[in-house]
Structure 1
Amino acid sequence: MQAAILPITAGWAWIQDGFKLFRRQPMAMFFWSMATGLLITVSYMIPLLGQIALIACTPMLTFVTLSACRNIAQGRPMLLTMWLQPLKALETRKRLLALGLAYLLFCLAGGFLATLPFLGSLMSAIDDNGIINEHALLLAMRGPFITFGLLYLLISALFWHAPALIGWHGIKMSQALFFSMVACWRNKWPFLAYGASWAAIFFAAQMVGGFLASAGASAGVVQILLTPVNIVIAAVLYCSFYPAYVSVFGVNYPMSRPDSAS
């Protein structure tokens, strides 16, 4: 698999192309954004096991998203029965589940490696009587959070393109992780622009909420107004995954293969 090397402006172009995809079938992607948001909410209602299941299922959800975007790009209306078609093949489900378990293990390992050097400072926030000094604990948690954030960038690069490479091309997990890492490294500047742009978009949405609150709107009103906006932003984010993949691996993209046979 040969990954293209793109200019830094490609990062913003992915977002623009994602918005164009969203505009072609807004209700379909709005529905998917709400569905994934509901799954995330339910996962946090089930302590620990819910988050573990969500992380393990992330490659499957990503592949479903990419497949839906491919259908939209090819002019196919996304019907309700089409959403799970990409997971119809047993071999595809098994490969993506294995990828999800690997993703879970990498995240757990990253959390362990990020916490280990700061374990002493974290323990010092708890006195001999087991009372937690919340201020000291928050200060001690900065180091692990920053370290894990840096490690997660590497984990994300490994797994970013892997669901599509496994689901559409049927290659081995080790190869998919390698190709994904190489592709992300070759396009590190576009991905930096892509991440910075999304950070600015989400920050702007929060600023609008803060402005409404300062203007006298109640918290409930702000929540009602911002909820659909956040769902649309998330939907455009999901749509942008597809152009990011196609622009990098477009030459080898199996455009003629149906989702159910992937």
Structure 2
Amino acid sequence: MKLNVVPAKTGSLWVRQGIRAFWKQPLALTGLFFMFMASMSILSLVPMLGEFLALMLLPAITLGLMAATREVELGKFPMPFILAAGFRTGADGKRNMLVLGLIYALCFVGVMGLSTLVDGGDFANLYLGGGSLEMDTLMKPEFQNAMWLSMMLYLPLSLVFWHAPALTHWHGVPVAKSLFFSTVACLSNWRAFLVFGLMWALIFVATMFAITLIGSALGDGEFAAMAMLPAMLMLASMFFCSTYYSFKDCFTSDTLYA
């Protein structure tokens, strides 16, 4: 396995590849993403430890979505059990995936904990507890500062874990090395990832604007509310499809992914 440094335009290629893969199996991939979200929501309902357990499983399930994209690329139909691909390995693979999940959950909780120092925990309670967002709370400078701080801290966290589950699962890279190589790969290819992120941000914003505009043109106030959820589910599915291609281009190996 070796690291590749790709040109900036490759970021747009990842986006196109993810969208193209999605449309090969749109119902299956949207359904898998919905299962992913539903399982996280159900697990979060478990008292005390639910939220933490959901965070622990996040790296493994995102790997499952990447594995589903690989199945589609190979001309296969992604079955629901593909979401558990990270745990359908030997004892070492299962342990590494659990350790990755534990580290991710602890780091995420740490980010939320730091945000509580800014606003007393309003943003963390909203994000983790799923409470309702009131305009008065949103307009508080402390809440906005906590939100921006969390976003700034989560960006490097996401880079550290971007490739780590795939490196551990497909290449047998130990946990510490997978986190290190993921970070190096993202920093080495920051131009491509910048293009990748900007393109997806533009796609999400343009889609929301188009749905709102169509609703206004039709004079139907409920159209946007009804269309927004399935549209966002589809776009999120496409996004996770594209993450597989970012991994595939950032690393090469003589071993075929299993």
TM range (shorter): 0.7 to 0.9
SS at match of 1:24: coil
Compute the TM-score of the two structures, normalised by the length of structure 2. 0.83
Is the 1:56–1:103 contact (alpha carbons within 8 Å) kept by the matching residues of 2? yes
Q: Please state how far the C-alpha of 1:42 moved relative to its aligned partner.
A: 3.4
- Please identify, of 133-142 and 193-202, the stretch whose mean Cα deviation from structure 2 is larger: 133-142
CA change 1:82–1:115 in 2 (3 A) is closer
CA change 1:103–1:136 in 2 (3 A) is closer
Is the 1:64–1:83 contact (alpha carbons within 8 Å) kept by the matching residues of 2? yes
Rounded to whole Å, the distance in 2 between the matches of 1:91 and 1:240 is 27
Q: Please state how far the C-alpha of 1:223 moved relative to its aligned partner.
A: 2.9
Q: Please state how far the C-alpha of 1:61 moved relative to its aligned partner.
A: 0.4
2:221 pairs, out of 218, 223, 228, with 218
Is the 1:22–1:236 contact (alpha carbons within 8 Å) kept by the matching residues of 2? yes
Is the 1:11–1:193 contact (alpha carbons within 8 Å) kept by the matching residues of 2? yes
Aligned residue number for residue 145 of structure 1:
147
1:159 pairs, out of 158, 161, 176, with 161
Aligned residue number for residue 230 of structure 2:
228
Is the 2:32–2:80 contact (alpha carbons within 8 Å) kept by the matching residues of 1? no
Rounded to whole Å, the distance in 2 between the matches of 1:39 and 1:168 is 24
Specify which structure has the bigger relative contact order, considering alpha-carbon pairs within 8 angstroms and separated by 6 or more residues.
1
The letter for the 1-side match of 2:196 is Y
Rounded to whole Å, the distance in 1 between the matches of 2:82 and 2:141 is 48
Superposition CA RMSD, Å: 2.7
Which stretches in structure 2 are left out of the alignment for 5+ residues?
Answer: 123-134
Q: Please state how far the C-alpha of 1:237 moved relative to its aligned partner.
A: 0.9
The letter for the 2-side match of 1:252 is S
Aligned residue number for residue 100 of structure 2:
99
Is the 1:158–1:180 contact (alpha carbons within 8 Å) kept by the matching residues of 2? yes
Instruction: Map 1:158-197 onto structure 2 (within 5 A).
Output: 158-197=160-199
Rounded to whole Å, the distance in 2 between the matches of 1:119 and 1:225 is 34
Rounded to whole Å, the distance in 2 between the matches of 1:83 and 1:134 is 39
Deviations 1:79-113 (A, max 9, x none): 34555355222432221121111001111222333
Aligned residue number for residue 114 of structure 2:
113
Higher radius of gyration, 1 or 2: 1
- Please identify, of 201-210 and 77-86, the stretch whose mean Cα deviation from structure 2 is larger: 77-86
Compute the TM-score of the two structures, normalised by the length of structure 1. 0.82
CA change 1:76–1:119 in 2 (3 A) is closer
Percentage of matched positions with identical amino acids: 27
- Please identify, of 187-196 and 46-55, the stretch whose mean Cα deviation from structure 2 is larger: 46-55
CA change 1:252–1:148 in 2 (3 A) is same
Which stretches in structure 1 are left out of the alignment for 5+ residues?
Answer: 123-132
- Please identify, of 164-173 and 46-55, the stretch whose mean Cα deviation from structure 2 is larger: 46-55
